Amino acid sequence: MGLFFWGMKGWILKNGSLVWEDQLPDENQTTEHVVCDVLTSALNHRDVWIKYGKYPDIKENIILGSDGCVIFDGKRYLINPSIQWGNNELAQSDEYSVLGMPTHGTFSDKISISKENLILVPDYLTDEEAAALPLAGLTAYRALISRARTTPSDVVLINGIGGGVAMMAFQFALAQGCKVIVTSGHQWKLDLAIKLGAHAGYLYTDDQWTKRLIADFGGVDVIIDSAGGDGFSNLMKVIKPGGRIAIYGGTHGKITNLNTQVLFWRQVSILGSTMGSDQDFKEMVDFVQKYDIKPVIDEVFPLSQLELGMKKMETGQQFGKIIFQNQDLR
Ligand SMILES: NC(=O)c1ccc[n+]([C@@H]2O[C@H](COP(=O)([O-])OP(=O)(O)OC[C@H]3O[C@@H](n4cnc5c(N)ncnc54)[C@H](OP(=O)(O)O)[C@@H]3O)[C@@H](O)[C@H]2O)c1
């Protein structure tokens, strides 16, 4: 049976600002829901977009946060942040939403959530690594594996390695045995990625980077991108004939300069991808377990310091996931 309770605590958006609130009604509850203690949560760029009003259908007074490692009945669970995907593997239903607005999310001490959205945490992951996984892992898995259908012989380019989803896609492609190339706006991030197994790294701020990549590798088979915008024309330069470009974000806005001649002549597929289905989520957790993948963590903050973590993401200083611990709430 579900349990309704009043007095939920968490970070909400109120009059355009992030505030901690400790007298909220539990709006998630239904009879299928269970109440879990949140151990750890993680930040996504989505939370930053919401804070600045740059996300569709913003609803205030809702606890944000889409990633969580929770305790229910003495066991640790990951939360699948895809709510009501539906039965169609090709796309989500009209009722679909992402956890953490419009329904209460994980920047909280407790959450009520459908049991169907819970999946046991692989034992070898810490609470912090577990919280890093759900949204970024799901998005990366669908973009790379369900949509771009990478195989070990593919050369994969991860555009903007510093991001949470990008880093997860990088780790998944390496686990598959692909040759992985990365770009970044920061040399230090390229250096770290090479230490983790990248074959090469290019600064996307260098106007010669596409020429260098083509000279070094001849091009790439798969590109995973969340930037879009004007820089997309560079991705069309390095994609090989028959290549696939999976796009899961549009940080730099509309693609206004798509070279259609390259698109059709090289038989390129551009694939939109958002979050993932329940099946993607389950497959992603199995995949992570099969390859003993440990998400890369940038920094762990107490949940009371949410805004410090946000500031780090807003200024692009992170490499991997930014995590919040709830210890200071207990
Ligand atoms: N559709 C979905 O389901 C879904 C899911 C998750 C995220 N997203 C979207 O995807 C984007 C990234 O999300 P996130 O949570 O991973 O954010 P994040 O951790 O803040 O990462 C931001 C990313 O943008 C990259 N970047 C910035 N400027 C770039 C440029 N000019 N060219 C290439 N890359 C650039 C950064 O790379 P460097 O730091 O290496 O420069 C970094 O990878 C956001 O727009 C988010 O809303 C969509």
Q: Which atom of ligand 1 is nearest to the CA of 161?
A: 40
Contact by Cβ (8 Å): 309, 43: yes
**pLDDT digits 0-9 by tens, 64-95:** 999 999 999 999 999 999 999 999 999 999 99
38 lines ligand 1 (CB under 6 A): no
Whether residue 192 has its Cβ less than 6 Å from ligand 1: no
The pTM of this model reads: 0.96
Give the residue from 212, 258, 226, 222 showing the smallest Cα distance to 242: 222
Per-residue CA distances from 147 to 80, 151, 211, 235, 272 (Å): 19, 12, 27, 18, 8
Residues with Cβ < 8 Å from 290, sequence gap 6 or more? none
What CATH number was assigned to the domain covering residues 138-272? 3.40.50.720
Q: Is the CB of 300 under 6 A from ligand 1?
A: no
Q: Which of 165, 225, 274 to mutate to test the pocket of ligand 1 (most atoms within 8 A of CB)?
A: 165
pLDDT of 24 reads 84
pLDDT in tens, 90-130: 999 999 999 999 999 999 999 999 999 999 999 999 999 99
Q: Whose CA is nearest to atom 42 of ligand 1?
A: 163
CATH class of 6-133+295-329: alpha beta
Q: ω into residue 102 within 30 of 0, thus cis? A: yes
Ligand 1 atom closest to Cα of 160?
Answer: 37
pLDDT band, very low/low/confident/very high, at 147 (cuts 50, 70, 90): very high
Q: Could you identify the residue written with the tokens 């555009």?
A: 159
* pLDDT for 1: 42
Determine the average pLDDT of the residues in 160-181: 97
Of all protein residues, whose CA lies closest to atom 28 belonging to ligand 1?
227
Report domain extents, the chain.
6-133+295-329, 138-272
Residue nearest to atom 1 of ligand 1 (CA): 274
C-alpha span between 116 and 119 (Å, rounded) = 8
Q: Is the CB of 137 under 6 A from ligand 1?
A: no
